[in-house]
Structure 1
């Protein structure tokens, strides 16, 4: 799978299986929550695709080999990769599968899922560790009651999970004091999602959240966790311009933050609330190449990330790994 083929697969984002037994693992995180997905690897590149009943992409597994076709024409051969917990090699766990915020692109507020107990999260990591494949832990969480209580919940988990001796990354909604709390608990990396650098668009799609508070938390986080260990999602396809995305990448990389360019996902539960257009392969490639250039200019390196999306690479074109 070359770079253009991966960009094409990400631009479509969905695949139908030739047989139900070919795989599919449900997601509990973010815009794609509630839907199943598969991980497909070809060469050194990995892609994660949502499983649907109808798609121009089809996946067929033949023994140890997997084949992805576009409208009946084979475009990539590889193999299926079994995720550990949501991600290959990572225990990627959503602690609170509910959220008081109502970001228009996110399914979590609509699904109103459960909240994993402290004990359950530790047990999940123990089970993952027993496989011998645990390389890192990523904790993400909605906000059940308040950002402060969620931060305290996750910080307590980080303290207990340090026993496994692998890097731990955390993604929560930020608040004053969150960085020091997570750093003192033993977290190695943090991710606070800006979602869109277009402030007008942000106010429409993320009501109740503060753009400036997120940006301030990211800047402060770099002072504690260091460059290459602080991340932020920028969604592509919410109606933003490429110019605004490039400006957003500039602002984040100027502060030592690694942006993650994530193709926006039009979840069925939110179709009437936000106008999402899945980005083309060409757009994803152009933006990813710009991001790679900015990281190089700023001396940043995605290969130094220890947890999360820059390590997984399934959902994005990741500088330092894919290009």
Structure 2
């Protein structure tokens, strides 16, 4: 007997939010541990959509023969693990594993942190959800990826595994560019090796806004300028160093990025679970949408190596709160005609870390 995908869309969205918090029991060959956040996740296809979901052996959700079961009952939702990519088996001429240089996210996205250190990583300055340098300490990556190194891996991932887009972020540097200059060098090298690979870059607002044009001219076609919260009190508690970059500086950078990259090619993370009022978070998301910036709503989830988890013991948000905020923001995105899938590259285009795409946003 053939089993059809019989879960209605609203049930799919509710389940997608639920598993984002409660996780799933699944063997996930492609997974992410540590790094800049937001979670330790296994990468699966959830009803065909790229999804990064916590692997939790205590979860009531189990993946069995391509189906998602809840307490042993079929939910009507198809879930399948993303296969380990072929490029993971390769190394550079001097012995650096390609997997240490860039990772597969979702099924078709290559991601890398080009500089794995950050000037804000001192405990008094550090973003409490971030563990960017922990993966470096564990030996799972290298401190600085050169343009040639990243281009080599990108070409192999494109050729061997059909990667369609790339996300490049960086730890913040001391320079006025806050790390964007090295990003631009890497973009140029990748576009020379793989001209058709779409690239998103991610950085803090640069002091000189011309840097945003430099990134576009290098070949990036989407940009993430991540604020995580539009509430200054939340920012000061969770991001003591980064919060000194004012919201007015972020707004100026977003407006310039929309001018350069275009409407809905600029995005920012909004993290649910840091104590922000839900109505205020939705209002902040609406302000971003009105600017042409996509608010990528993602739950805070406990991540080993972060201050929020190891020191503060902050739990994940309640799934009802995540459901409410994600749904309302998705409706605002639909009303504005903005979809993550319409971005050329990046986190919103991939959609794996959020339930927004499941809700139509």
TM, length-normalised to structure 2: 0.78
Structure 1 residues 152-179: Cα deviation after superposition (integer angstroms, max 9, x where no partner): 1110111121231122110112212331
> Contact conserved, 1:41 with 1:78, CA < 8 A, in 2?
yes
2:201 aligned with 1:170, yes or no? yes
TM, length-normalised to structure 1: 0.86
2:234 aligned with 1:195, yes or no? no
> Contact conserved, 2:25 with 2:63, CA < 8 A, in 1?
no
- Structure 1 gaps of 5+ residues are none
Q: Which residue of 2 aligns with 1:267?
A: 303
> Contact conserved, 1:196 with 1:234, CA < 8 A, in 2?
yes
Q: Which moved more, 1:43-52 or 1:98-107?
A: 43-52
Equivalence map 1:108-187=2 (5 Å): 108-113=132-137, 114-131=143-160, 133-146=162-175, 148=177, 150-163=179-192, 164=194, 165-175=196-206, 176-177=208-209, 178-187=211-220
> Contact conserved, 1:205 with 1:274, CA < 8 A, in 2?
no
Deviation at 1:6, TM superposition (A): 0.8
Partners of 1:134 and 1:150 lie apart in 2 by 25
Q: Which residue of 1 aligns with 2:262?
A: 226
SS of 1:51's equivalent in the other structure is coil
Partners of 1:28 and 1:116 lie apart in 2 by 18
More strand by share: 1
Structure 1 residues 67-87: Cα deviation after superposition (integer angstroms, max 9, x where no partner): 444455554443222365223
Q: Which residue of 2 aligns with 1:86?
A: 105
Partners of 1:201 and 1:130 lie apart in 2 by 43
Deviation at 1:10, TM superposition (A): 1.0
SS of 2:37's equivalent in the other structure is helix
Q: Which residue of 2 aligns with 1:56?
A: 59
**Which of 45, 51, 54 is matched with 1:47 structurally?**
51
- Structure 2 gaps of 5+ residues are 1-6, 86-103, 121-125, 138-142
Deviation at 1:140, TM superposition (A): 1.4
Q: Indicate how the Cα distance of structure 1 residues 191 and 290 shifts in structure 2: closer, same or farther if over 3 A, else same.
A: same
Deviation at 1:92, TM superposition (A): 1.6
Structure 1 residues 102-140: Cα deviation after superposition (integer angstroms, max 9, x where no partner): 101111145545222222211110110112512112111
Aligned Cα root-mean-square deviation (Å): 2.6
> Contact conserved, 2:205 with 2:250, CA < 8 A, in 1?
yes
Partners of 2:82 and 2:186 lie apart in 1 by 28
2:130 aligned with 1:106, yes or no? yes
